[in-house]
Amino acid sequence: MTGQRLDFAREADPDMGLECLPDHLTGDELDRQILAFSQRFDPQTGLLNHQAFQDALTTLLRSRHPDQEVALIWIDLVNMRREFSVWGWTGAEAMARRIAGMLRAVVDDDALLGRFGDRSFLVATSATKLGKTGRRRVQAVMDLLTPHGRREAEASREVAIGVAFFPSDTESPEDLARFASLAAGRADYIKSQRVVAFHPRMNSLIMRNHLLELEMRKGLDQGQFHMVYQPKVELNTGQLLGAEALMRWNHPDLGAIPPSEFIPIAERSELIHRIFEFGMRAALEQAQQWRDLGLALPIVAVNASAANLRADDSPRMVRNIMEEIPIAPTQLELELTESLAFDDEELFTHRIRQLRAIDVRVAIDDFGTRYTGFNVLKKLPLNTMKIDQCFIRGIHHSPDMLALCETIVAMARQLKMCIVAEGIEELGELAVMRKIGCEAGQGYLFQRPVAAKEFTAFMRAWPKRMREFGFEDSRGLFEADPIYAVG
């Protein structure tokens, strides 16, 4: 990067930010100098601020030698907030200064150093040096952030570093910084690897997520979403216990987008509340229609995200919708994924109590995918436990899975919960789950999730079809006292 050295950066660089200004300055002259300084430099560390860094980077990339590659290293101090919580501004800024000093010590003289926001530090350096030497250089940064005392030890565990290259990853200076930041975000997410190189997939993913978020807003207004229904079958008698409502999104140009893709995107914004409200209304209205056709289902289940439950007004929202669309004797069950119980036990318990107080049934979904222990479960007033499909898959060939499921069933019994096996696809799996006393089942074997009209046809045909699955009792659909009434 010969000739690209940014002297103004170095001039302002005695490691101390504003303190580098000459002592003799006073009055207007001092104010002017402070203003000029703060327009280009971070006052605490003396590093280039993001605007000046971006300008300098653009100049550097434009005038570089055609063969020369440049690496942009993005360093996030992911524990900056905690540092602030413990030590206040002074401690947090002292840490930033220490890190700025460490970076100065480890990078070449002609590297560009900048700071973005409180917690991000940027280094642009010649990438020809980045092969093995470059990697060592990044490692040296890491090592410098390693323990000299307790506080630095904390910092060292929570540094996330991303690297992107010019021109191989991008020829745009703006994108170069964005890509390095994406890679740092990835490093923060995966934790196991603190330095991550940019990969084009990271950009396409973020772009697609952004597009889907924008489209979801439109799609909800334009009727692109609908619910499909999958039956839950009582495994002793073959009676229909209810239906789970699952959301579908058909985008006019992008096609069908699965909930596994759009729900996590919705969860990052208020969209998840619109999704929840839409799902509740659609499912309750549908349940009303079935009731009017003489096909009342004992339970209609709707999935709720952790984000829905965290919202203070979720029980009130549920109550309002239930008052607006009364479905008795059909009952609403909310399926809550197990991860929430794991994340925030206290809130989870409180919300379940609030929901139970307004007569909403509550199920724990995908049970077994997290680590909710008996001690947590026994405190929760849950109605239903849904064993995740990964335990059911091939259970008739796996004594280990069988033993595990027997234990889960026994535990659910002890806790007086109705237990549902998810994802039953084969007769062998059904036979085992019946044998071990699992009360209800759901899966492609009985019926894939289908639109309301097909589900109506399914309900009508079920009393005849249930014999195919070895159910003897083909009495009227909903005559027997359903086992779900437990708890």
Exposure of 431 by Cβ count < 10 A (0-12 exposed, 13-18 middle, 19+ buried)? Answer: middle
Residues 287-316 that bind Mg ion (CB under 5 A): 303
What is the CB neighbour count within 10 angstroms for residue 250?
A: 13
Return the one option of ligand C2E, Mg ion, none that residue 425 interacts with (CB less than 5 to 8 A, by type).
ligand C2E
- Indicate the residue among 111 and 280 with the shorter CB distance to ligand C2E: 280
Min. distance of Cβ 334 from ligand C2E in angstroms? 10
Q: Hey, which residues between 329 and 348 contact Mg ion (CB under 5 A)?
A: 335
Amino acid at 283: A
Smallest separation, CB 450 to ligand C2E (Å): 10
- Of 106, 147, 111, whose CA–CA distance to 126 is shortest? 111
Q: Which does 260 bind (CB under 5 to 8 A by kind): ligand C2E, Mg ion, none?
A: ligand C2E
Q: 278 Cβ partners below 8 Å, 6+ apart?
A: 220, 225, 247
Q: HSE of 179 in the Cβ direction (CA atoms, 13 Å)?
A: 23
CA nearest to 341, candidates 369, 383, 302: 369
Stretch that binds Mg ion, among 92-100, 135-143, 280-288, 360-368 (CB under 5 A): 360-368
Look at residue 444 and give the partner it binds from ligand C2E, Mg ion, none, a contact being a CB closer than 5 to 8 Å depending on partner kind: ligand C2E
Closest distance of CB 430 from Mg ion, Å: 17
What's the closest the beta carbon of residue 237 comes to ligand C2E, in angstroms?
21
Q: Is 403 exposed, middle or buried (0-12, 13-18, 19+ CB in 10 A)?
A: exposed
Q: Whose Cβ is closer to ligand C2E: residue 93's or residue 234's?
A: 234
What does the DSSP 8-state code read for residue 391? H
> In the complex with ligand C2E, which residue's Cβ is closer, 42 or 335?
335
Query: Amino acid identity, residue 75?
Result: I
- List residues bridging with 225 in a β-sheet: 249
Which of 93, 335 has the CB closer to Mg ion?
Answer: 335
Amino acid at 455: F
Q: Coil, strand or helix: which one is 250?
A: strand
> Where does residue 171 rank: exposed (0-12), middle (13-18), buried (19+ CB within 10 A)?
exposed
Give the binding site for ligand C2E (CB under 6 A).
Answer: 230, 246-247, 258-260, 263, 275, 279, 303-305, 335, 337, 365-366, 389, 422-425, 442-444, 449
* Residue 413 token pair: 């019994």
Toward ligand C2E, which CB reaches closer, 126 or 447? 447
Which residue in the shown chain puts its C-beta closest to Mg ion? 335
Q: How far is the CB of 337 from ligand C2E (least distance, A)?
A: 6
Instruction: State in angstroms the smallest separation of the CB of 315 from ligand C2E.
Output: 16
Q: Give the Cα separation of 374 and 370 in Å (integer).
A: 12
Binding mask 385-424 for Mg ion (x = CB under 5 A): -------------------------------------x--
Phi, psi of 416, rounded to the nearest 5 degrees:
60, 40
The item of Mg ion, ligand C2E, none sharing an interface with residue 307, based on CB under 5 to 8 Å by kind, is: none
Residue 454 CA neighbour count, 13 Å, CB half? 10
Residue 80 or 263: the one with the smaller Cβ distance to ligand C2E is 263
Counting contacts by CB under 5 A, is residue 110 touching Mg ion?
no
Query: Residue 423's binding partner, choosing from ligand C2E, Mg ion, none, with beta-carbon cut-off 5 to 8 A by kind?
Result: ligand C2E
Cβ proximity of 342 and 371 under 8 Å: yes
Position 365 contacts Mg ion (CB under 5 A): yes
State how far Cα 184 lies from the chain centre: 17
Q: Confirm or reject binding of residue 366 to Mg ion (CB under 5 A).
A: yes
| Smallest separation (angstroms) from Mg ion to the CB of 388 | 6
Q: Shortest Cβ distance from residue 87 to ligand C2E (Å)?
A: 39
State the binding partner of 114 from ligand C2E, Mg ion, none, CB within 5 to 8 A by kind: none
Helix residue spans in 165-313 (DSSP H): 173-190, 200-221, 259-266, 271-292, 306-310
Joined together, the tokens standing for residue 134 give: 């470059």
Residue 398 has a CB neighbour count (10 Å cut-off) of 14
For ligand C2E, the closer CB: 4 or 389: 389
**Contact call for residues 144 and 137 (beta carbons, < 8 A):** no
Beta carbon of residue 443, minimum distance to ligand C2E (angstroms, whole number): 3
374 binds, among Mg ion, ligand C2E, none (CB under 5 to 8 A by kind): none
CA-to-CA distance for 84 and 88, rounded, in angstroms?
4
Query: 315 touches which of ligand C2E, Mg ion, none (CB within 5 to 8 A by kind)?
Result: none
Question: What is the binding site for Mg ion (CB under 5 A)?
Answer: 303, 335, 365-366, 422
